[in-house]
Each structure stands twice: as C-alpha cells, then as structure tokens.
Structure 1
Amino acid sequence: MTGRITHKSARLEAIGTLPDQDGNRVGERDRERELQEIIMTEVTGQTRKALYELAQQRGIEGRASMSKAELAAALERDAPQGPHQTVGTRLETFRRLANAVADGEFILRPRVLTGFERRRHVRQTLREDHQTRIADGNEETALKFNQLSDSLFSFFRGTALLFYRDMAGDDGWMPTVLALGDVHPENFGIMPNVNNVPIFSVNDFDEACYAPFTWDLRRGATGFMIAAGTEGELKSKHQSRIVRCFIEGYIDAMTRLARDGTEQDEEMRLDNAPKLIRKLFEDAHEARADWLKEDYLDDSGRRFRSTDKLVPISSRIDEFQKITDRLIKSNHIEVPPRAMASDGTAMRVRDVAIRRGQGTASLGLDRYYVLIEGPQGNGTDDLIIEYKQARRSALTGLVPHNGHEMDTRAERITHAQAVHLIRGDRFYGHIEFDGRSYMSRERAPFRDSIDLDELSKKQWRQYARICGGVLAGVHALSDEAGRVDYDIEPAIIEAIGPPELFTEDMVAFAEEAAERVRRDHEMFREDHARGAFTQLDMVYR
C-alpha cells in the first residue's frame, strides 16, 4: 500500500495532492496559495483561548488585551518563515483506494498489515483522526487517549476511522442505505420523540453516511462481539451466538418490513416494547424537577451548578441567546409550549455551561449545555439544549461512491436524525459559531442506555436481536425519508441471499475483526505509554 506519512517527514507525492482543512483536493498550480491559506485557517479557526496560548508560546507582546481577531492577525504576521508545513493526511489516498476496490481491482487493504507496518498505520490513523484535538492540547484529549488505553471496548468505540479504513471500498455492489456509521450496543437507547415521549432507537448519528447496508452490520457485529467479551465477560462461543442473534434480528425485521411496509408507523415506546426494553424505560424514568435539581442547577434554581464536569460560563448568555434564536429560525424548529417562559418568550436562555468528560468518540470536542426557561419560571420545568461540535464522518472517502454526497458536518448529522427518527427530538438542528459546526439536541431526564454489565447470557441474546431489528427499521427509512430512490427492503433481502450463509459470514467477519482490534489495542497502549499521541504527523516542504 502506498501513501504512508511518517512523523516529521513525508512526500507530497504520497498524498497525491495537498488537501485543505476539509480534505478537498487542490490542484498543482494552487499549492503555494493553498499553503498560505492553511496557515491562516489554522489560526483563525481556533478559539480565543487557543490563540492566546499560541501567542504566548511565540512571545507576542500585548496579547492579553487583544481580541480574537487581533490575536489571529498578530499570529498571521508572526507565522514562521522558511519551509512550509501542514498536517499530513491520507484522506485522498484512501479515497482512491476505496474507489479502486469498488471498481473491482484486486488491492490489499491495511487490514493485511502486520508487525511494525500495522503499528505505524494505527499510529498515523489515530493522529490524523484526532488532529484538531491533539493540536489544541486540552486535558480532555489526554483523557480520551487514556480511556482508549484502559478499555478494549472504549478503544473500539473511539477508533471508527481505523475500523473503516480496513474496509475501504468493500461491498460496493450492495444496496445503499443511510448508515448509522457507528453501530454498537451502547448506541441504542432511550430518548425523547417530537412529543417529548420516551422512545427506544438508535441514538448517535455522528458518523452517519450513505453506505452499503453491510457496513453497519459489520460494525455492529464486531461491537457486540467485543462488548459481550469485555462488558459481559462472556466466552467466545457465547460472543458468537450473540452476534448471530444481532444479524438474525436484522434479517427477520427487514423481511417483515419488505412484506408489510410499516416502517414509517413503527415506534418503540413503553406500551409496546419487549420486556427487556420496558424495564429500561422504567429505570430511566425520573421527574424533571428532581433531575434538574440533583444533576444540574444551583440552589437558586436559575443557574448551572459548577462541578468537575460542568463549568458555567454565564458571561456568554447573551451570545448563546442569539445562537439559539438563529438555530430555531434556520432549522425551522416549531417551539413547543414547554419551551415558552411564563411571559410567553420563546427559548429564553437562562445560563450556559461547558460540558466536559462526556462520550467516547467525541471526547475532547466542544460541548455546551444551554438552560432554557420553562413556563413555571422556578427552575422545575426548564429545558437543557446541548450544542455538540460536529466533525467529518469516519466513513468519508471510504465508502464506494454512491452519488449521495453529504452536506456540512452538523447538517449531515441532522439529516440522519430526521431520516432515522421521523418523529424524533424536535430540537435536533445544525448551526455554526466560533468558526465550528455544531449539532443541537435536547437533554432529557429519561435519556439512557442499557447497563451491559448487568445483562445475563439470555438477555445479551435478547438485546442483540432487538437492536438488530431496530437497525433494520432505520435502514428501511432510507428510501421514504432519505435519498435512496428505490425500494430498499426487497433489495436488501435479495442481496442477503441465504440467511444462514449471510449470518455465518458476518460472524466470521466479526471474529476476525475483533481479534484485529485486540492486536491494535495492544500496540496502541504501548505507543500511548511512549507519548506517541501528543504530536501530529507533519508534511514539510
């Protein structure tokens, strides 16, 4: 395989053409201009705090009194002269690889690499995937790498790009769906629907992308196998049985939907959920007033309480009021009565806080909680809207070309939520501020996922089958609510072929992929202990 980038030395020929910050291809004659723009983009795309720290490192005088724009201008003037450098990326290399594989060429993928070459591939991929976070150098970046080191399942969850680069171009002949992109046992859960009623479904759309339906099944099968071993402490034969239940649940549900066509009318609620999920609904129930008081609000009931995970930034209330007003208008969100203050004001921002230490794949990305005043005005019925920084899907450039190019980062996530949950959270939206793209959603007292370490062997099999069926339901919506222009359910059933053969193929894939993840994790842990993820792979000219 070509296209390797080594630390502090690389050839532009290995990259193909110099990519910009979003991975767009740049022509040869535009390289010098693009290099200058990259330097400026790396400066202006940062927060004021990050710019100030960079100015401090460069010894720029008067930095304490400078605005964000003044800091950016000073840093641009102070940009290092001499050899140009930019962060190395293999996005275009893998895009070409994926297209070649999809066209039927016999090309080896990085999954065949062993020894030092595999170690270097893992290291480079994780550095590239965490480019912004490593460059920012915040505490949560170190926390994420520690979390990936401590747990095999966390490593699997937080390295989707590594997983999908091993699959580049696979299954290009298979039916395309709007794939969730990161299927695993903890990305199903309880959340609010459009009427603020708890439902059970897929709950994370950060990696969503149009892709062959098998990509979600492969990721999900591997996720269930690893989680059953690490979280459930089950033996390998039980792990394989659980994967079979996941795939069989998908096939059974897709067969039924191909026959009945009821996917737009189906919704799993407390009144119609299987026993195992019904218990999750019951356990997740909590009164809003108690939830707010115990987890979020200070004694006044009007502000966020400062904790190690929640940092109030009340000085930005006016700024986030404008952001929230713009969110509602640009996303055409119909504000419900429960988001109206007692005087009739819609979406009045009471307070703002930075949320730290949440998620696995998204750990280290910006996340804000915005407190919205409820009708009572006394802090017992307030809403919390989350703004979560979005990034490019791990599947970008790796799926076989299907003509479904996605829009901006957060807009892609919003599109997936609207397709997968046709009556989902009304506050899902996308917006840009501080030079970055954010998605929005409501935090709710009943937002919860199942405790995997409490499941019995039988419950693991039940849960896997339920999740397989839920995944089939959201895939089936890819034609009605999504951009797929043919009847997707019968196409998937035909592509599956003999169900037993398809199921065993998925089990075999999951067994092989899970073992590869284990080997990668061991190499990652060794590299992490040696400080490998405190710096980036740079391209020098």
Structure 2
Amino acid sequence: MAASQNASARQDFGRQARQQVRRSQHANIGDTRRDPIELLKANSAGRVEALVPLRYGRMSVSPFTFFRGSAVLQAHDLAGTVNTGIILPLCGDAHLSNFGGFATPERQLVFDLNDFDEAAPGPWEWDLKRLAASFAVAGDQMGVDRGAIAECVSTAVQEYSDRIREYSELSSLDLWHEVITFDRMMDRAVSDEGRQLIAKTGKKAASRTNESVLTKMATLQDGRWTIQDAPPALFHPSGPNSLLGEEKWANTDAWKGKLAKAFDAYVQTLPFDRRALISQYELHDIAFKVVGVGSVGTFCLIMLFVDCHGNPLFLQVKEARPSVIATYFPATGPSHQGERVVAGQRLLQAASDSFLGWTTGPANRHFYFRQLRDMKVSAEVERMSNTVLNGYARMCGWALARAHAKAGGKAIEISSYIGSGERLADALVEYAFAYAKQNEADYDQFITACRTGRLEARGDEEMALDFRV
C-alpha cells in the first residue's frame, strides 16, 4: 500500500480483504500432514551437535516447552491456511512467554515483545494465532478450565482489535513514540492482585542489572574478572568443559586477535554515540551460554567488559539463523540474519537495547549483539491466578497491537478487516483449542521418538553430571 493513499482507500482495502478471507476461516489450523520429528531434525541442523540433546531435553518437559521450541511446526501449518494479504514485520514467535519487561535507554521500565529470532515479514494474523495458541497450551498445562482459557484467548484478541482500532487513528509520529510503561499497566490493572504483581515484577526488574549479575557469574583475580564455568549451560569455549567439539574458536584471546574484526564490524552497526560509549570498556572474558528452549544449540556467547571504575557490561552474542517464518512465507529482507533480527527488533519494539547490533563470525555464522541483562524480566505465568492470567492476556494483546501498528504502518487496514473483533475472537478461540490438541499429538510423537532413540533427549541435570568429579 502506498503511503500517499488516504485513510478511506486503506479502509476499503481492509474491508475488501474480508471478501477473500472470511474472519471465521481463521479457525482453520492449516496443513498438519507432516512428520514433526523430521521438521525438528531439519531445524536442528547446523547447531552444536553436543547440545541438540539438551534442546530436546528442555522441550520434553511439557507440551508447553515443546510448543515454545517448535515454532517451525506452527509456521509450517500456518503456511497451509489462507491469509489476509496484509503483510508486515512479524515477531515470528509471539507466544505468551516472549513478552516481558526491560529498561529503555532512558531507564524507563516498559512491557513489550522481547524475542525476535524468528522476526520476518508475514501475514499479521500469524503472530496473533501463535499468541492465542500459547494461552490454550499453557492454560491446559496449568490446569485452567476450558472456559477460563477461552476467556483469556478472547481477551487477548479483543484487546488487540481494540488497540489496533485506536492506533489506526493516531498520527504516524505519535504511533512511533507509543510505549507501554509499567505505570500505564498499573493504571490498566483491574484487580489488586494484578497491581501487586506488576509492582513486584517492576521491583524485580530494577534489581536485574549488569552489576547484580557480576559476582554471581564471575570472580575477580589479579584485577581481572573471569566467568565461572557451570556446564552444560555456561562454559569457556576452549576450556576443559567445552561442548563445542572442533569449533573452539570463541575464547578471549581469539576475540582480541583474529576475531577482533568481527567485533569491530559489530561496533560499526551501532550509532556513533554508542560506539563512543563501548570504547570506554575493556574485554575481560568470554564464555558460551546456553539460552532458552528453541535457541539451544545455536552459538551464544557472553562477553564481559569492565570500565575504568570496575563497573561491568555483559553483552550477549547470539547466532542468528534463518527465520522459520521466512522458510514458509518467502519475502524480501536483509540477507544477513543478524541484521534481520536487529531490524525486526528495532521496528517492533517501542525502544530497543542501546547495544543492539550485528556481525559475521567464523564459518560465516551470523550474529547479533545485545545486553545480557538490563532490567529484563519475564512473567511467571505458571503462578498466575485465572484473573491475573486474563489480565496478562490483555497486556500481551495490547503489546502485539502496538508492535504491529508501529512496524507495519497498516493499523488502518488491519482494523478495517477485523471490525469489532468479536468474529475474529470467536474464530481464534476455536483455533487455539484445535492447535493445542495438535500440539499435544505432536508432543506425544516427540516423546515417543525420544524414548525409542529416534531422537536423543537429555536434561540439564543429566548433562551436568558428565562434568562432576
């Protein structure tokens, strides 16, 4: 859609999309005629071989951890559904655990999407469907009754619809500066329990700083900080606990030597003032860190920098692999996967990490950089009451609408397509329950594959025993 088209023409485009795709059609979960094990194997190709069993081990904990680690399956299935033709930058993995709090560069605590490994252009409804399904999968695991789950899904979709309608009337500049602060969340909370949780989460976020993690993760000796190994989750790439096999290239000396070019290339992707800021830090140590569920087995490093006053800066260097969204919805975009992640994050978030950038490392692996911990905090969904879970669904729907409206500039088209939101909410409640059932079936196949040896799954504790003497 051309930017010069007036609002009326764009509204017509959205309404006409209903003629192509009825809102009730979004209840269809898509093409599930596939072998989930083979898709997961393909998605694991190129990862650190010794860590793939840990990935499967973390996924095996529950149907929800499986859902979190198997975004490739839902992307495949969604490709078999009709889409509205309204395309914009997606998060690509907008499940309920990929929202959280963090600090803006101005030190304001905000609520937003916080994972962009799968970011890529696609139909806006794919993100909303992953969010809806995640509430059904997680709710079932938590023992939430079907009626309460349906209410959560409906609330998330209705909030998305209401906010998209609100954003369709904002100026482009006002929308660009829209941010969901914890103060606004507090005002929006409908119960004392919800307000208490927001306050508690804000207090927790304020304590999660570079300084707070330093003594927990590293030790000081002869004026230099060294990150402590805690395999299999944290280890030095060239040390005795390494799981990298032949690819032990990421030690501190290597970064200072032949890999300095990769770091220098990253620095050049930062704004001028951030380049000046990072130049005031000295590298002390590097370690490999296993993160998340779906990201297990990708190359992820922790770099510890210290300034002249002894204050730390932890940077996370994370491998960026091709998005599962791009696999099933080909579209133009950056060819560098690190740049793709950074571009998606900057577009979708209201405010992004001060040190967000990208580079190319050994073996032409693509990476992006961000701070390891800067007041980042996630909701403990499993401890939420039904009332609080429903309030959280509302916040997620709001945050996703804000992200889509800013990144795509197509709030008018989406709002006109959705209408009041009731028909879409009904369809996505049906979709969420149907996809949760499909996820359960896929999970059962996955567990069978792990038990029969088709896949190897090992938990953190089991792998940690390999390193104990």
Normalising to structure 2: TM-score of the pair? Answer: 0.80
CA contact (8 A) 2:110 2:181 kept: yes
Which AA in structure 1 matches 2:118?
A: E
Question: Once the two structures are superposed, what CA deviation does each residue of 1:290-317 show, in whole Å capped at 9, x if it has no partner?
Answer: 5134422203362222323322444335
Higher-Rg member (1/2) = 1
Query: Is residue 426 of structure 1 aligned with residue 354 of structure 2?
Result: yes
Contact 1:317–1:349 (CA under 8 A) maintained in structure 2: no
**Alignment partner of 2:206 out of 285, 291, 294:** 285
The alpha-carbon deviation at position 137 of structure 1 amounts to 2.3
Q: 1:335 to 1:498 in 2, by over 3 A?
A: closer
- Does residue 234 (structure 1) correspond to residue 144 (structure 2)? The answer is yes
The residue that corresponds to 2:245 in the other structure is none
Structure 1 unaligned regions, length at least 5 = 1-100, 103-107, 480-486, 536-541
**SS of equivalent residue, structure 2 residue 376:** coil
Q: What pairs up with 1:304-343 in 2 under 5 angstroms?
A: 304-308=227-231, 309-312=233-236, 313-319=251-257, 321-332=260-271, 334-335=273-274, 339=277
Q: 1:194, 1:423 within 8 Å by CA — same for their partners in 2?
A: yes
Q: 1:112 to 1:285 in 2, by over 3 A?
A: closer
1:350-361 pair list within 5 angstroms: 350-356=284-290, 358-361=291-294
Q: Identity rate of aligned residues, in percent?
A: 22
Letter in 2 for 1:326: A
1:32-43 alignment, distance < 5 Å: none
Does residue 1:266 correspond to 2:196, yes or no?
no
State the one-letter code of the partner of 2:227: F
For residues 62-461 of structure 1, what are the structure 2 equivalents within 5 Å?
A: 111-113=31-33, 118=34, 121-133=35-47, 136-138=48-50, 140-230=51-141, 232-261=142-171, 262-274=174-186, 275=195, 276-286=197-207, 288=209, 291-300=212-221, 302-308=225-231, 309-312=233-236, 313-319=251-257, 321-332=260-271, 334-335=273-274, 339=277, 345-356=279-290, 358-376=291-309, 378=310, 381-399=311-329, 404-435=332-363, 436-461=365-390
Is 1:526–2:437 an aligned residue pair?
no
Change (3 A) 1:510 1:298: same
Correspondence for 2:414 among 488, 492, 496: 492
**Equivalent-residue separation in structure 1 for 2:325 and 2:399 (angstroms):** 21
Contact 2:89 2:122 in 1 (8 A): yes
Q: Could you tell me whether the CA contact under 8 Å between 2:95 and 2:131 is conserved in 1?
A: yes
Structure 1 counterpart SS, 2:302:
strand
Q: Deviations over 1:109-147 (max 9, x none)?
A: 97353xxxx5xx1121111111113xx521x21011122
TM-score (norm 1): 0.69
Secondary structure at the aligned position of 1:396 is classed as: helix
Go from structure 1 to structure 2 and tell me whether the alpha carbon gap of 1:527 and 1:299 turns closer, same or farther (over 3 Å shift): same
SS of 2:122's equivalent in the other structure is strand
Distance in 2 of aligned mates of 1:375 and 1:330? 24
2:3 corresponds to which residue? none
For each residue in 1:34-53, what CA deviation from the matched residue of structure 2 results, as whole angstroms up to 9, or x when unmatched? xxxxxxxxxxxxxxxxxxxx
Deviates more, 1:121-130 or 1:301-310: 301-310
Larger RCO, structures 1/2 (Cα 8 Å, 6+ apart): 2
Counterpart Cα distance in 1 of 2:272 and 2:391: 37
Aligned residues: 402
Matching residue's letter, 1:451: E
Does the 8 Å contact 1:157/1:360 carry over to 2?
A: yes
Q: Which runs of 5+ in 2 are unaligned?
A: 1-19, 22-27, 187-194, 237-250, 458-469
1:264-297 deviations in Å (ceiling 9; x for gaps): 2222334433234343111222174751344222
Distance 1:393 1:290 in 2: 33
Displacement of 1:209: 1.1
Whether contact under 8 Å (1:245, 1:465) holds in the other structure is yes
